[in-house]
Amino acid sequence: MDRKGRKLVLFPLPCQGHINPMLQLANILYSKGFSISIIHTSFNCPNPSNYPHFTFHSIGEGLSESEASIHDGFAFLSLLNTKYVDPFRECLGRMLCDVSEEPVACLISDATFYFTQAVAESLKVPRIVLKTESASSFLVFAALPLLRERGYIPIQDSRLEEPVVEFPHLKVKDLPLVVTSTPEVFYQVIDSVVSETKASSGLIWNTFEELEHSELTRMRNEFPIPIFPIGPFHNASFSNSSSSSLTPEDKSCISWLNTQPHKSVIYVSFGSIADLNEAEFLEVAWGLANSNQPFLWVVRPGLVNGSEWLESLPNGFLENLNGRGNIVKWAPQQEVLAHPAVGAFWTHNGWNSTMESIREGVPMICMPRFGDQLVNARYVSQVWKVGLQLEKGLKRGYIEKTIEKLMVEKEGEEIRFRISKLKEKANLCLKQDASSYKSLESLVSHISSLG
């Protein structure tokens, strides 16, 4: 395929939940004939040797080691948006001036790197953004100033169960807030992401029209730019050499899954950022142990506050389960969800995990921790009705009952039926002339018409 004249520069945010969808998007656009260059920070860098068809450009000087490990997520995002301005401008500027290279058709930046809009404007290159969350949650983020004005925020404990009139599917407790010591930084980041997204030349989503139709329609009214829902994204293959994982994947769990009965295993993972305190960790462990279902649980080092890894589990915990439980540090998640032995996904409802579960038709147990996960979980459990949310806290007896409800009771059967239908829609929309296929075609012609 002749790729001349059609280079795209992609700039992912250096977090697992953002790198995965950006590299999946890169593969999708590569398959459409574009050449791909990735600008990336030197920390949390995807492995370039897994992508020999792309060129990688590292921007080194930015965060110091101590800054790169800041725990307050939004303070970290704000810092990223100041520290990388100069290194990014230099790198992109150099690429634009290099006459031996193909001309750049446009920059595709993670929307959370809001500083890239001003840089793109000053270098006169069009900027499109990728939003890695759901359209539903982004609409709520964009409305936070209004919801603050109307008195929903700060949230009062007495109002948690009240509906949010502006978002009929949500209760006050579902508003996508985070615990932070610097709330003004949180609002400043959200405000900048929203305004710099509105200033961009287009917005790409890992979602599909049939899933979030009314939210995408509302988005089109509120955001005066072209919107491209082209999901669900997915890995081109399950081989190690195509992975964008920042942590080695423990593939031994696939051989273990091969020994388990059809649709029996609960896969448990809370993504790359969320954490648990020790008491919560033990309730999860005992809830799983007492459920009598086989389980595969991803316990990242650092998942449990104050622990290295599994030291807070009682001695002999796994041994006493006689092979019914398997714990790994990091799993090949998409491959796991596609495995016939997996019957349910206990998730924190990060958007990637939610879409991966829908794509594979795996019903969910929802345990959102913060931010967009709260909105995603409400949609999974109450709007699409393809999961059960653990709303009454993390107690082993309640966990056990919820697992039973999903795996053996009538309600679980109905949920399984609904997610099998949603899976069909998720796969159909990618087919020729279906919604995401057409949206991708218009993205390709939009890019070609820019500049």
How many chain residues touch ligand UDX (CB under 6 A)?
25
Nearest one of 47, 430, 88, 69 to 234, comparing CA atoms: 430
The H-or-E segment that residue 155 falls in is none
Nearer to ligand UDX, 138 or 286 (CB): 138
CA angle 372–13–361, rounded 5-degree value: 50
Taking the complex as a whole, the smallest distance from the CB of residue 76 to ligand UDX amounts, in Å, to 12
Q: Measured in whole angstroms, how far is the alpha carbon of residue 207 from the centre of its chain? A: 11
Whole-angstrom Cα distance, residue 91 to residue 269?
A: 36
Nearer to ligand UDX, 17 or 183 (CB): 17
Contact flag: residue 374 with ligand UDX (CB under 6 A): no
Phi, psi dihedral angles at 387 (to 5 degrees):
-165, 170
Q: Cβ(128)–Cβ(30) under 8 Å?
A: no
Residues with Cβ within 8 Å of 188's Cβ and at least 6 positions away in sequence, in order, are 78
List, in sequence order, the alpha helices (H) in 174-277: 183-198, 213-222, 252-258
Contact flag: residue 372 with ligand UDX (CB under 6 A): yes
Q: Which stretch binds ligand UDX (CB under 6 A): 265-273, 313-321, 385-393, 399-407?
A: 265-273
Nearer to ligand UDX, 35 or 269 (CB): 269
Contact flag: residue 378 with ligand UDX (CB under 6 A): no
Contact flag: residue 373 with ligand UDX (CB under 6 A): yes
Interface with ligand UDX in residues 26-45 (CB under 6 A): none
Nearer to ligand UDX, 286 or 351 (CB): 351
Which of residues 74, 228, 351, 379 is near ligand UDX by CB under 6 A?
A: 351
Which of residues 28, 80, 189, 273 is near ligand UDX by CB under 6 A?
A: 273
Nearer to ligand UDX, 197 or 333 (CB): 333
Taking the complex as a whole, the smallest distance from the CB of residue 350 to ligand UDX amounts, in Å, to 2
Which of residues 41, 269, 381, 402 is near ligand UDX by CB under 6 A?
A: 269
Whole-angstrom Cα distance, residue 206 to residue 162?
A: 30
263 residue type, one letter: K
Contact flag: residue 271 with ligand UDX (CB under 6 A): yes
Taking the complex as a whole, the smallest distance from the CB of residue 15 to ligand UDX amounts, in Å, to 6
Contact flag: residue 132 with ligand UDX (CB under 6 A): yes
Contact flag: residue 357 with ligand UDX (CB under 6 A): no
Whole-angstrom Cα distance, residue 377 to residue 373?
A: 6
Whole-angstrom Cα distance, residue 313 to residue 306?
A: 13
Q: Which stretch binds ligand UDX (CB under 6 A): 48-56, 210-218, 252-260, 271-279?
A: 271-279
Contact flag: residue 389 with ligand UDX (CB under 6 A): no
Nearer to ligand UDX, 334 or 439 (CB): 334
Contact flag: residue 197 with ligand UDX (CB under 6 A): no
How does DSSP assign 325-386, residue by residue? EEEESS--HHHHHTSTTEEEEEE---HHHHHHHHHHT--EEE---STHHHHHHHIIIIIS--
Interface with ligand UDX in residues 4-23 (CB under 6 A): 15-18, 20
Nearer to ligand UDX, 132 or 260 (CB): 132
Taking the complex as a whole, the smallest distance from the CB of residue 362 to ligand UDX amounts, in Å, to 12
Which of residues 41, 200, 272, 402 is near ligand UDX by CB under 6 A?
A: 272
Q: Where are the beta strands (DSSP E) in 86-210?
A: 104-110, 127-131, 163-164, 167-171, 203-205
Interface with ligand UDX in residues 321-350 (CB under 6 A): 330-331, 333-334, 350
Taking the complex as a whole, the smallest distance from the CB of residue 426 to ligand UDX amounts, in Å, to 15
Q: How far is CA 5 from CA 22, 119, 372, 377, in A?
A: 21, 22, 38, 42
Nearer to ligand UDX, 126 or 387 (CB): 387
> What is the token pair recorded at 221?
């009214």
Contact flag: residue 143 with ligand UDX (CB under 6 A): no
Q: Cβ(35)–Cβ(7) under 8 Å?
A: yes
Nearer to ligand UDX, 273 or 388 (CB): 273
Whole-angstrom Cα distance, residue 375 to residue 268?
A: 20
289 residue type, one letter: A
Contacting positions for ligand UDX (CB under 6 A): 15-18, 20, 132-133, 245, 269, 271-274, 298, 330-331, 333-334, 350-353, 356, 372-373
